[in-house]
Chain A
């Protein structure tokens, strides 16, 4: 008698403790687990950390709750290598049992995670920041969605801007991997159609230090250079080009003209004024939604707490993809049953409101969205910044070319010497 009473009391105490732990969750339905993968190690560690900030911002804006279900974020890290990304994703999906997966960050990772997603049909995968064309063009996966535009789409509009500037012949200097291939294609598809010529394409290794041999091959008769190099590589190239006495006008890829390049101090700094570039976002875009997004980012992640003065590309694309995941969840009222069929249907049909305008998905679950053509200007206090010169809406993944005529960008495709 006494024993059973004691057991009773214990079990009641236990139940009370459990209930207090889970009280919130019980009150609002089961939490939704979302896996978040970005590169917190390796060459894109800084970008990955900002990507996480962007994704967290999207969750914060909804107060961490969607349709009465708490959002539980489980993070993982990779180092921009595809095998590491798949391992990290596999842990989130198979060990932590997430319902939705957001990530990864870089191109090769995206293709590998897309291939993996085919083996896990019960989970919906939403891209993070990766921008390789092949992810949603070749061998697509029915449960992999991408709400950001990719490398080729980001360059649409630059070809026309170059022709308007009078650049008839252009040499391309780009890093030798998938993302710059896409960027080059995005530029050349339009540029070649308008009659521009690209006599030379120089593919340089990622993280190269010495560009003297490339600089030596720049032909005399080109009007401009299109430089598609990441941060430190771009600065190295600019310095060496200046030292060798080069004076061709410059155009930049989506990740080339960034703050670290604009802060570059050298004799040629003033010649950067007028450099045109294109990308999915522009710091100085004056849309109301964009301004609200920037203000929100700055309030949540002030520079003193490790944030950037203005959200980076990765913060933006992670924000967009996480927002899509949550908006979709809200649209189906938190209902992930039936193998998430309803949820995926909602994602497919959704018109996503992003800070830079509306985004829809095509039949390959790839975003159709907006690109900005920007130009470097000098403000009154002598600082360089970018100014939006043109906004191009509704760019699809085949860049307006008929799907059957569209060939994926590579070292030799397209060509117009």
Chain B
């Protein structure tokens, strides 16, 4: 189906949903608006289809079509080095922006958690170093994710009793400690050189290290992470987590266990970072202490802030901009000064829009887009 057909189909869908979208036009206050009449309520379509019809809008379809058709449009280089890498770092940054945006906890150790999964993959699985145990990937990958979740939970358990800058300090300390551990330990982590030749497996004759299959692998897990977070923040757990972010004391007096919610959030973010870490090792084909150094701990925060933490898509937007700059800035000024371009762009984005790219988008929409009905609680 062509994009134009999709758009027509979707437009009719949106038009029929209009009465639901504008309940406040009738005069009632937005938050207490009665549930809109659902045009699909009485059809006997399956539930998931109804869900899709209700929630899908043209931009979703466009984005989906775009990411699915991207391999046909651009070169394998762009697919692998820009798109796949951005999806991986987007996924790891998502784990941070989930913690920071919905839990109010800025953790600098997310890259270390990703690195722990990566190191677990290299140490237990197959690599070019003799000290690897050589387990099959089907066992190693779940194990690596389990280790990431456990470590992240532990980090969370250590750091949730603190607030603000102290959380940052504790997680930074953990991140730096992990860096020095893998740098100086030779018996397990092989020190400065790390592990080479950690490649993704072949499944049904498909070599996952080829650009296009690897891109779809990353795309699948990035979307899985994205929808997991989108779903999670609407569940009772997610709402309670946001409550602890806004006023921990009040939530506590309402009978919520604030610490438990925060530690659970760390566990979820550990899972996301772990998946990202496994993909990152497969992407690079190697892992060395440089991948979990202080530079990358900070870069991850840059990605999350750059994109904006108010919505899960921000992490991916930030990652795309970051990777594009990192790859192509040297073409803009081809001397030793190209890091200036990167820094300049970051500075201007953060300066003009404290909410990152998402904030910029919202500002533009407010100025040029159709006037919006402000509904404070419901989200499409």
Residues facing A in B191-225 (CB within 8 A) are 191-193, 196-197
- Say yes or no: is B327 at the interface (Cβ < 8 Å to chain A): yes
Interface code B80-101, partner A: CB below 8 Å = 1, 0 otherwise?
1100010000000000000000
Q: Give the residue of B192, B197, B338 whose beta carbon is less than 8 angstroms from that of A77.
A: B338
Closest to B337 in A: A40
Is B196 a contact of A112 with CB atoms below 8 Å?
yes
Structural contact, A86 and B284, CB atoms closer than 8 A = yes
Q: Which residues of B contact A41 (CB under 8 A)?
A: 339
Chain B residues whose C-beta falls within 8 Å of the C-beta of A75 in the assembled complex = 330, 334
The closest CB in chain A to the CB of B209 belongs to A119
Question: With A41-B339, A411-B186 in contact, do A95 and B77 touch (Cβ < 8 Å)?
Answer: yes
Q: Is A391 an interface residue (CB 8 A)?
A: no
Other-chain contact of A81, B285, B288, B336 (Cβ < 8 Å): B288
Closest to B78 in A: A95
User: B338, A205: Cβ atoms under 8 Å?
Assistant: no
Instruction: Check A83–B284 contact: CB distance below 8 A.
Output: yes
Interface residue A346 (Cβ < 8 Å from any Cβ of B): no
- On whether the beta carbons of A83 and B77 are closer than 8 Å, the reply is no
How far is it, in angstroms, between the C-alpha of A111 and the C-alpha of B78 when the chains are bound? Answer: 24
Question: CA separation between A77 and B288, bound complex, in Å?
Answer: 19
Does B291 make an interface contact (CB < 8 A)? yes
- Chain A residues whose C-beta falls within 8 Å of the C-beta of B186 in the assembled complex: 176, 411
Q: Pick the contact of B77 from A79, A81, A94 — CB < 8 Å?
A: A94
Q: Which residues of A contact B284 (CB under 8 A)?
A: 82-83, 86
CB-contact partner of A82 in B75, B77, B286, B336, under 8 A: B286
Q: Which residue of chain B has its CB nearest to the CB of A76?
A: B330
Q: In the complex, are the beta carbons of A91 and B286 less than 8 A apart? A: no
Q: Which of B75, B197, B291, B339 contacts A83 (CB 8 A)?
A: B291
B336 nearest CB neighbor, chain A only: A40
The interface size of chain A toward B, counting residues with CB under 8 Å, comes to 30
Which residues from 34 to 50 on chain A have a C-beta closer than 8 Å to any C-beta of chain B? 40-41, 45, 49
Q: Which of the residues A83, A90, A91, A206 comes within 8 Å of B288, measured between beta carbons?
A: A83
**Chain A nearest Cβ from B129, distance in angstroms:** 11
User: In chain B, residues 310-350, which have Cβ atoms closer than 8 Å to a Cβ of chain A?
Assistant: 327, 330, 334, 336, 338-339
Q: Which of A49, A74, A176 contacts B192 (CB 8 A)?
A: A176
Q: A83-B284, A90-B77, A91-B81 are in contact. Are A49 and B336 (CB under 8 A)?
A: yes
Once A112-B196, A177-B192, A177-B193 are accepted as A-B contacts, the answer to whether A83 and B286 lie under 8 Å apart by CB is yes
A residues near B291, Cβ cutoff 8 Å: 81, 83
Expressed in whole angstroms, the Cα–Cα distance for A86 and B81 within the complex equals 10
B290 contacts chain A at the CB level, 8 A cutoff: yes
Distance (Å) between the CB of B189 and the closest chain A CB? Answer: 12
CA distance A97 to B192 in the complex (A): 32
For residue B76, CB closer than 8 A to chain A, the reply is yes
- Give the distance to chain A from B37, nearest Cβ to Cβ, in Å: 53
Asked whether any CB of chain B lies closer than 8 Å to the CB of A87, the reply is yes
Give the CA-CA distance A79 to B193 in the complex, in Å: 15
Which B281-301 residues sit within 8 Å CB-CB of chain A? 284-286, 288, 290-291
Q: Is B183 an interface residue (CB 8 A)?
A: yes
Interface string of B168-192 (1 = CB under 8 A from A): 0000000000000001101000011
Distance in angstroms from B268 CB to nearest chain A CB is 27
A415 interfacial contact with B, CB 8 Å: no
Nearest CB of chain B from residue A130's CB, rounded to whole Å? 13
Contacts of A94 in B (CB 8 A): 75-77, 81
Residues of B near A411 (CB, < 8 A) are 186
Q: In chain B, residues 218-246, which have Cβ atoms closer than 8 Å to a Cβ of chain A?
A: none
Cβ-based interface call for A115 (8 A): yes
Contact of A205 among B76, B80, B85, B183 (CB under 8 A): B183
Q: Does A330 contact B (CB under 8 A)?
A: no
Residues of B within 8 Å of A206, CB to CB, are 183, 192
A70 to B46 CA separation, bound complex (whole angstroms): 66
Chain A residues, CB < 8 A from B338: 40, 77
Residues of chain B contacted by A40 (CB below 8 angstroms)? 336, 338
A176 cross-chain contacts in B, Cβ below 8 A: 184, 186, 191-192
Q: How far is the CA of A79 from the CA of B294 in the complex (A)?
A: 13
Q: Is B196 a contact partner of A111 (Cβ separation < 8 A)?
A: yes
A186 interface residue, CB < 8 Å from B? Answer: no
Choose from A95, A108, A111 the contact partner of B75 (Cβ within 8 Å). A95
What residues make up the interface of B, taking CB atoms closer than 8 Å to A? 75-78, 80-81, 85, 183-184, 186, 191-193, 196-197, 284-286, 288, 290-291, 327, 330, 334, 336, 338-339
Q: List 14 A-B contacts (CB under 8 A).
A: A41-B339, A45-B336, A74-B334, A75-B330, A77-B330, A77-B338, A82-B196, A87-B81, A90-B77, A108-B192, A115-B196, A176-B191, A205-B184, A206-B183
Task: A75-B334, A108-B192, A177-B191 are known; give 18 further A-B pairs, CB within 8 A.
Answer: A41-B339, A81-B291, A82-B196, A83-B290, A83-B291, A87-B81, A90-B81, A94-B77, A95-B75, A95-B327, A108-B288, A112-B286, A176-B191, A177-B192, A177-B193, A178-B193, A206-B183, A206-B192
| Chain A residues within CB distance 8 Å of chain B | 40-41, 45, 49, 74-77, 79-84, 86-87, 90-91, 94-95, 108, 111-112, 115, 176-178, 205-206, 411
